[in-house]
Amino acid sequence: MDGLLLINKPSGLTSHDIVFRLRKILQTKKIGHTGTLDPNATGVLVVLVGRATKILPYLENSDKVYRAQMKLGVMTDTEDIWGKITAEREIVPIDDFDALCQSFVGKQMQVPPMISSIKVNGKKLYEYARNNEYVERKARPIEIYSIETMDEFSFRVHCSSGTYVRSLCRDIADKSGNLGIMSSLVREQVGKFELSQCQTLEEIEEKGAHLYSISEALAHLPRIDLEDDFDVKCGKHLRFDTDADRIVLYYENQAMAVYERHHGNVFACARGLWS
């Protein structure tokens, strides 16, 4: 069993919980996810099964689309509604919420939340948070491609990988003179994969898993079909006349390896996919 499995993650389960349950349902240990989704958030979780666990670095992109809602007048230690309240303040009215949100579209620097998995001095930030330790966090580059505002301080955001929506809510509120936290979060899209394509754990248990093939996941990379796979399995450098610096080699319609330009028109194996 090899391929990508798209899960509609329910609230209350961690991404690791989903992987643990899928290992039992699918009776395989070779499973991993492409990016953590908060326990209280719902939506798209991309899971790699079998040989597909090798292709994570080569997926097309990890831009994401989220639907989020904000709550004003309060701050918590997790920057969301599920954390411990650390401050409260009277709400300053926001005359034009859409204009406020649109001011965040573009490239910018964002300070990540204390509960993120970013490492500082070899330790994840959320580990410091669990021990009630505060550490300085460096701002990181992100990009907001678009924001669509909705009712009651909710919005849909298309953003780059590494963007923390809870921190975006914090910053939007701060720019308006308010305290603010994230009160709900749904991940609607990861790369080209959408929520409508996802299965629930219950659906997988009842009807079986629908897997997207490794070929579909790597369709954005140039494809070269081989007459035999001997040299690839031996890890040999190969020559190809192509402008691409990264390609996927196929044999009998099966993705065998990802090759990258070594020098000139010589390519070296970056990741074997045949077993």
Q: Percent of the chain, pLDDT > 90?
A: 83
Give the model's pLDDT for residue 255. 94
Burial string for 161-190 (b: 16+ CB within 10 Å, else e) reads ebbbbbbbbbbbbeebebbbbbbbbbbbbb
Q: Which residues pair with 31 in a beta bridge?
A: 49
Phi, psi of 90 (to 5 degrees): -60, 140
Q: Are residues 94 and 136 in the same domain?
A: yes
Give tens-digit pLDDT for 48-103. 999 999 999 998 778 999 999 999 999 999 999 999 999 999 999 999 999 999 99
Cβ neighbours of residue 102 under 8 Å, at least 6 residues apart? 147
Residue with tokens 């097309």: 60
63 three-state secondary structure: coil
Q: Which residues pair with 39 in a beta bridge?
A: none
Cα separation, 138 vs 121, in Å, equals 12
Q: If pLDDT is split at 50, 70 and 90, which confidence band does 117 have?
A: confident
Cα separation, 226 vs 106, in Å, equals 43
Number of domains in the chain: 3
The pLDDT of 218-230, averaged and rounded, is 94
Out of 167, 187, 207, a domain closes at 187
Q: If pLDDT is split at 50, 70 and 90, which confidence band does 266 have?
A: very high
Sign, CA torsion 78/82/87/90: positive
Q: Are residues 113 and 175 in the same domain?
A: yes
- Judged by average pLDDT, the poorest of 4-13, 32-41, 131-140, 192-201 is 131-140
**What's the mean pLDDT when you consider all of the chain?**
93
* pLDDT at 123 > cutoff 90: no
The pLDDT of 146-166, averaged and rounded, is 95
Q: Are residues 135 and 36 in the same domain?
A: no
Give the model's pLDDT for residue 115. 76
Q: Are residues 197 and 262 in the same domain?
A: no
Sign, CA torsion 14/20/22/28: positive
Q: Are residues 74 and 182 in the same domain?
A: yes
Q: If pLDDT is split at 50, 70 and 90, which confidence band does 137 have?
A: confident
Q: What is the CATH number of the domain that holds 12?
A: 3.30.2350.10
**Backbone φ/ψ region at 144: left (φ over 0), alpha (ψ -120 to 50), beta:** beta
CB contact at 8 A, 167 and 181: no
Q: Are residues 148 and 117 in the same domain?
A: yes
Cβ neighbours of residue 45 under 8 Å, at least 6 residues apart? 6, 7, 8, 9, 15, 18, 33, 35, 37, 187, 198
Give the model's pLDDT for residue 150. 95
Q: Are residues 154 and 242 in the same domain?
A: no
Q: Are residues 50 and 161 in the same domain?
A: no
CB contact at 8 A, 254 and 233: no
Active-site positions?
A: 38
Tell me the whole-structure pTM to 2 decimals. 0.89
Give the model's pLDDT for residue 95. 93
* pLDDT at 221 > cutoff 80: yes
Residue 255 identity (one-letter amino acid): A
Q: Are residues 155 and 90 in the same domain?
A: yes
Give the other-Cβ count within 10 Å of 108's Cβ: 15
- Name the residue range of residue 68's domain: 64-187
Cα separation, 49 vs 47, in Å, equals 7
Integer Rg of the chain from CA: 22
Q: Are residues 135 and 90 in the same domain?
A: yes
Q: Are residues 115 and 17 in the same domain?
A: no
Give the other-Cβ count within 10 Å of 35's Cβ: 17
Q: Are residues 197 and 211 in the same domain?
A: yes
